[in-house]
Amino acid sequence: KSNLIRAEYCQVHIDLTAPQQIKIFSKSGRDSTGDRKKLWKAIQEGLRMNSGAKKFERECILEGEMFVYDEAKKEYMEFSEIRKHVTRAGNYMGTWDDSK
């Protein structure tokens, strides 16, 4: 396996006063919130959004890259693994068999 970690850029906007508190955008600026539903819980837990120990008061923007880490193997997975966890316009990108 390559030591190169293949990641996907994303920007996360959080607004605790908005009806939809989390919005996730792709590198191109497309709203990918619906396609990144599996990230919501990790974002909420990481920022402690549902506790008295929140990491911010009302709004914040996170900018970074998402990748898949295999806890059992203790390693970062190839980019194709990301595609198994997120969708594009509600559809998986046809990768279920290409990286098993």
Q: Write out pLDDT tens, residues 81-96.
A: 666 666 565 555 554 4
- pLDDT score recorded for residue 12: 95
Q: Write out pLDDT tens, residues 30-43.
A: 898 888 888 888 88
- pLDDT score recorded for residue 50: 83
Strand, helix or coil for residue 23: strand
pLDDT, averaged across the chain: 78
Q: What's this model's pTM, rounded to 2 decimal places?
A: 0.67
CA 73 vs CA 8, 30, 98: distances in Å? 21, 33, 19
Residue 7 contacts residue 82 (beta carbons within 8 Å):
yes
What's the N-to-C CA distance of the chain in angstroms? 14
